[in-house]
Amino acid sequence: MSYALIVTPTKLIIKPERRFTWEQWQAGRAERRRLGNLVAPKNIRRKKSEGDEYLRETYGGERGPKFNKPFDASADEV
């Protein structure tokens, strides 16, 4: 099975003062995750789903990337 990402053009205008770097996004995401962990369980991954075969094949026997591991976008490249 092959999956393709289709990106469509957008008319959304992002003002220069609202732009941020990848590192800034990651820092913001880490803070949102920290706050979320205060009110919900840290790991909420399902035990099983219909996509298990694909997930386990992709992530070396696991259902997804390891938690607390830095994000590596190149890991998803085919």
User: What is the reported pTM?
Assistant: 0.39
Q: Per residue in 41-57, pLDDT tens? A: 776 667 777 888 888 88
Q: Per residue in 13-32, pLDDT tens? A: 878 888 888 899 899 999 98
Q: How many angstroms separate the CA atoms of 36 and 42, rounded?
A: 8
Q: How many angstroms separate the CA atoms of 77 and 8, rounded?
A: 20
Q: How many angstroms separate the CA atoms of 78 and 75, rounded?
A: 8
Q: How many angstroms separate the CA atoms of 13 and 20, rounded?
A: 14
